[in-house]
Every structure is written in structure tokens, then in C-alpha cells.
Structure 1
Amino acid sequence: MPQRITIYSENNEFQHAEVLKRNREKRQKNKEFFVEGVKPIEQVMANRWEVTTLLHDKERSLSDWAKNIIEVSNAQKILELPSELMQKLSDKEETSELIALVRMQKDDLARIPITEPFLTVILDRPASPGNLGTIIRTCDAFSINGIIITGHAADVYDAKTIRASVGTVFSTPVIRVGSPQELLPWLERVKHELGTLQIIGTSAKGTKTLAQQDFKTPTVLLLGNETLGLSAQYKAMSDALVRIPIRGAASSLNVASVASMFLYEIERQRNERD
């Protein structure tokens, strides 16, 4: 049975939830993060992430949905807060009915299934939580194998990232890795198990256009930083650099838009009938 605690002030339990929401270092130290919203919490539950704590407004009647989440969550603690404190924690105009504190999963590349048709996206130093969440949502829509984030990047466990992903961060494996070099043994393993693997970088100066590149074989897609693009190391690792033709005044596209275009083209090619 979970421990039920009623909170009347901004005590240690409240401050713990609040700091997980705003402080990346504390999230990483505690291996725990803040989740708000019906769809994200439903995805937490559906994909069996560990919920450590659930918070709700003690002055508000719980819906059947909230009662069910509390019943099946196996949360260690249920915190009951006055409306004023829930409002301070919530990012929504209408305060969320439930807030969850959730345990991080290990950054283990083994979480990415090596199965065909293989497609994994590697993000090189993504800076924007909004873009990161949108890319995760798009990747989930196309049922790719996994997402890898390398370098100094936006936090996948930032509340803004989770909100932009609409909770799909919990259904698609997202793994954080320090550098491209750390990926080399894993890339070799994928190539060995599948028999072949192409690494495709995205670049405004690519030698091929998106339509010219064949994506029917197992693929790793590299997406660069919003401002700096792909690092030199990733460009060197690429079997091809591919561009999206741009004819307007803009010199480049938003990285989330680039991800959508590439993933759609990959899906289109793989679904073509010979």
C-alpha cells in the first residue's frame, strides 16, 4: 500500500517535486522527474515506467480516471495538496488533476531493438526542449526503433520536452550518450546483426537530395544541432550527406521539420510496392 501524506505547506515533499520540475541537475542526481498531463501520465502507465509519487488536489473530487491511475500505479507515495500548492506546481491554466514523479530508465543502448526494418535517429546536441519533444513525437508516429541523443543537449526529462512529445517519450526508447565515439561499438553490432547498415547525415550542403537517397536498407539518420548542424565527427561517420532542396529565401529549415520530411520519405520508400 502507498504511503498517503497530506501536505499543508511548501515542505520538503513539495520542494522535492518543485525542484524536479525546474532543475536538471537535481533530476539527474535523483534519477527522477516531473510529469504532468493526462496523455503523458497515461503513457507512463501504458509503458510501465516506475511511478514513485502521485500528487493530487485534496480539495477537488477525483475523476474515475485519476482514481484508476492511483489504484494501478504502485506509487510509493500519494501526496494530497491544497489547491494553492497544486497551482504552484502546475504549468497548466486549469490545474492538472494529477502530477506524477517518475523514475528514469537506464541510458542503455540495449533498450533499442535491433530488428528490421531498422531505423534509429541520432540527435547531435539538440538545444531546444520543444524541438526535441516534437522530434520524439514524430519518431513515435513512424514507429522507429529508437532515438539517441549525444553531446550537450536539451534534457529529455525536461517538462517542456515531455509536454512537446505528448508523452511519446515513454513509448519510444530515448537513450543519452556522451559522444559519437561511444556509439561505434553499438553501430558495429547493429551492422553485424543485420548484415548491413547505412549512416545518413542531414546537411544543407549534402551531395544528394532527399528523393535521391535510397532508404530501404537498415538506416541510422543523423540530425544536427539547430544552429551548428552536424559535428565534423558525425559528417565523417556518414555514408552520405543528404539535403532537402530549398528554393525560398530561408537558408535552412527547423530541425523538427527536417526530421518529419526525412521520416516521411523513409516510410514512403519502404512501403513502395515493387
Structure 2
Amino acid sequence: MGDVLRVSRPNARFQQWEALLRNRNKRQRAGEFLVQGVRAISLAVEHGQPIRALIYDAERPLSRWAAGMLERAGGERVAMAPELLRELSGKEQEVPELVAVVALPDDDLARIPVGPSFLGAVFDRPTGPGNIGTMVRSLDAFGGAGLIVTGHAADPYDPKAVRASTGSLLAVPVVRVRSHGEVLDWVRREREAGRPLTVVGTDENGTADIAEVDLTGPVLLVIGNETAGLSAAGGRGATRWRGSRSAARPARSTPPAPPRSPCTRPSANAAVFQSPGPRSSPGGSLRDLAWANAASLRDLPGSARLRLCSTGQVTRSRVRPRPEAPRVLP
């Protein structure tokens, strides 16, 4: 197996890796983050993500899968005491078999390929890393090509985001950009190159039904912040969906909550992206995408509007029936 670094106490190397769990700035400076789980590590290796180190339990016999990963992944091999490995996992009880130290990918929009059946998403200023992970997981499940995270946002490489993605973060390109302007420039370049990219956003005040809009061809879905929705700048140039307002009001004994549309509730909202055109994806030929987040857009002059029920169930009268249920990752 080659040279192995053995770590039996919390030395400087351990502290460096442990900091990746809780400190975004240190993840950025080191240019790496932690990944655990069979699917996540397997996808990282399968998609050629640079593995800087694979850390395994020094006191446990390796499974066939773990031994195979150590042979294929490259990078440094580290045998670590189980109590230290448990700390790196962020779990109180379970000791993972492997933890991978993976290099952060470049934030380059060129990593997101735009083809004839492109489906991608922009998440504007998300505050919850778990919501980013869920979004990436949904994209991966239905053949999406990439996610763009804009503005002052949660970190896609936070452990909560990595766990929520169940490994899809290693398979689907995720690119962080500072502002919507970079996205608009990228969309403009794609259109000039002959790829007619349509930008579609969610809007609880929209008036047009989703079934009335042709969503064939390359589509970029824009989704706003979980609480405030999409900023006026971030939603520029997007067509819009609308969600219904049917969330229950808080009890009188509770303090008033900040205004929040059901379109922004990460646990309840679901947008179904569907059109009659075929789509090349691992899940089948339908162009559907079930989202775990939808949000309102600010008023955008001159944009078309779409309507969407996003209170936990899709109103079947609002969308075309599907011959089969969408594939959902375990």
C-alpha cells in the first residue's frame, strides 16, 4: 500500500484537518474540505476529484471497498486512531471507515457544460449550507448540469452541505460567484456562442401557469434566499414562477415571525420543472426536476410569469401528469 502516515494523537496535521470541519476561512486557505461516506468518496474518485489524503481507522480491518479506494484514489494514506477519526467525522458515536481530504475545485463557470438539454440552477445568497446540499442532490438525481451560488452565501463545502448532498457535490459542478453580474455575463457568452439559454426564476406573485410556458431547450433556474427570496439584481432577466400562500399562521402566543413566503420554506417547497420535450438524463427521458427549495423574486419589469404551488405538494391541476414517479436518491 506504500508509505502510511500514522496519527495517534492530536498533532498539528490532525488539528489542520479538524479545522476544516468548522472554519470556512481555513478551508479556503488550505484549498480542501472533508468528505466521508461510501457514495461520496466513491463519486469523488469516479469523477476525478483530487484526493489529497485518505484517512482510515488504524484499528479496523479494511473492507474490500476501503482497500480499493486506497489503491485508486492516490494522495496521502493516513492510519488514524479511532477516537481521532471520530472527531474528524463530526459524529459522537460512529467511527467512519474512511475520511477523504479533497481539494476545492475552481470557481470557474466554464466547469458547467451547456448543451441542448441543459438544466442548471442559480441559488442566490442561500443562508443554509444544508439547503445547498439538498439542491445539488436534486440536480444530480434528475441529470442537472451544475449549480451556481451567488453573493454572500453559505459555504457549499461546509460539512452540512456535503452531508446533505449525499455525495452529489462531488459529481455536479458547483461554482461560487460574487454577484449576479458574473452569471449574466456567462449567460450572454453562452447565447453568443449559439446556445439559447433561457433563465427562469420562482415568483409567488406570478400569473402564468407553468404548463403554458415552453421549457424545452437549455434552461437555467434561479432560486432565491430562503427567507427574503431573490434580490432584484439577482433576478434580472428571469421569467418567473408563482407559489401559493397557504402556510399556517403562527399561534398568537408566539412572537411574530419575519415575513416569509411558503415559496422559501426549504422543508416544504417543491417545484416541478416539466415540459413535453425529451431530456437526456440518467433518470429517464422526461424533463422534470423536483426541487427542495423555491423562492420569490422581486418585481422584474417585462418578464413572463409562471405559477407554482410549493406548499409541500404539487397541485396536479397545475402541471401535466407524469407517467412515472421521479427517481429519488436514498
**Structure-2 residue corresponding to 1:86:** 85
CA distance in 1 between counterparts of 2:186 and 2:268 reads 28
**Structure-2 residue corresponding to 1:261:** 271
CA contact (8 A) 2:246 2:262 kept: no
1:125-184 per-residue CA deviation (whole Å, 9 max, x = no partner) reads 111111111111001111112111101111111111111000001111111111001222
* Secondary structure of the corresponding residue to residue 234 of structure 1: coil
Counterpart mapping for 1:29-178 below 5 A: 29-75=29-75, 77-92=76-91, 93-178=93-178
CA distance in 2 between counterparts of 1:88 and 1:9 reads 12
CA distance in 1 between counterparts of 2:111 and 2:207 reads 33
* Secondary structure of the corresponding residue to residue 233 of structure 1: coil
More displaced 10-residue stretch of structure 1: 210-219 or 246-255: 246-255
CA contact (8 A) 2:134 2:165 kept: yes
CA contact (8 A) 1:114 1:193 kept: no
* Secondary structure of the corresponding residue to residue 4 of structure 2: strand
CA distance in 1 between counterparts of 2:83 and 2:135 reads 34
- Structure 1 position 252 matched with structure 2 position 252: no
* Secondary structure of the corresponding residue to residue 65 of structure 2: helix
Corresponding letter in the other structure for 1:262 = V
CA, structure 1 residues 195+27, in 2 after alignment: closer, same or farther (shift >3 Å)? closer
CA, structure 1 residues 147+267, in 2 after alignment: closer, same or farther (shift >3 Å)? farther
CA contact (8 A) 2:211 2:275 kept: no
Structure 2: stretches of 5+ with no match in the other structure: 250-260, 280-285, 288-330
CA contact (8 A) 1:201 1:222 kept: yes
Q: How far has the Cα of 1:23 moved from its partner?
A: 0.8
Q: How far has the Cα of 1:248 moved from its partner?
A: 5.2
Corresponding letter in the other structure for 2:144 = I
CA, structure 1 residues 267+43, in 2 after alignment: closer, same or farther (shift >3 Å)? farther
CA contact (8 A) 1:137 1:164 kept: yes
* Secondary structure of the corresponding residue to residue 121 of structure 1: strand
Question: Which one has a larger percent helix, Structure 1 or Structure 2?
Answer: 1
CA distance in 1 between counterparts of 2:103 and 2:134 reads 22
Q: How far has the Cα of 1:100 moved from its partner?
A: 0.6
* TM, length-normalised to structure 1: 0.90
Greater RCO, CA 8 A, separation 6+: 1
CA distance in 2 between counterparts of 1:209 and 1:269 reads 20
1:47-102 per-residue CA deviation (whole Å, 9 max, x = no partner) reads 11011011111111111111111111111x21111122112222343210011100
Count of paired positions: 269
CA distance in 2 between counterparts of 1:261 and 1:219 reads 14
Corresponding letter in the other structure for 2:23 = N
CA distance in 2 between counterparts of 1:81 and 1:194 reads 52
Corresponding letter in the other structure for 1:186 = W
**Structure-1 residue corresponding to 2:305:** none
Corresponding letter in the other structure for 2:126 = P
The percent identity for this pair of structures is 38
Q: How far has the Cα of 1:256 moved from its partner?
A: 6.7
* Secondary structure of the corresponding residue to residue 117 of structure 1: coil
CA distance in 2 between counterparts of 1:266 and 1:245 reads 21
CA distance in 1 between counterparts of 2:243 and 2:110 reads 32
1:1-22 per-residue CA deviation (whole Å, 9 max, x = no partner) reads 8641111210011111101121
CA contact (8 A) 1:36 1:96 kept: yes
CA distance in 1 between counterparts of 2:191 and 2:120 reads 13
CA contact (8 A) 1:113 1:145 kept: yes
More displaced 10-residue stretch of structure 1: 197-206 or 52-61: 197-206
Q: How far has the Cα of 1:193 moved from its partner?
A: 2.8
Question: Which one has a larger percent strand, Structure 1 or Structure 2?
Answer: 1
- Structure 1 position 215 matched with structure 2 position 215: yes
CA distance in 2 between counterparts of 1:165 and 1:266 reads 26
CA distance in 2 between counterparts of 1:98 and 1:140 reads 23
CA distance in 2 between counterparts of 1:241 and 1:267 reads 19
Corresponding letter in the other structure for 2:34 = F
CA distance in 1 between counterparts of 2:222 and 2:267 reads 12
CA distance in 1 between counterparts of 2:276 and 2:96 reads 36
**Structure-1 residue corresponding to 2:182:** 182
CA, structure 1 residues 29+117, in 2 after alignment: closer, same or farther (shift >3 Å)? same
CA distance in 1 between counterparts of 2:204 and 2:27 reads 35
More displaced 10-residue stretch of structure 1: 111-120 or 213-222: 213-222
Corresponding letter in the other structure for 1:208 = A
Corresponding letter in the other structure for 1:261 = A
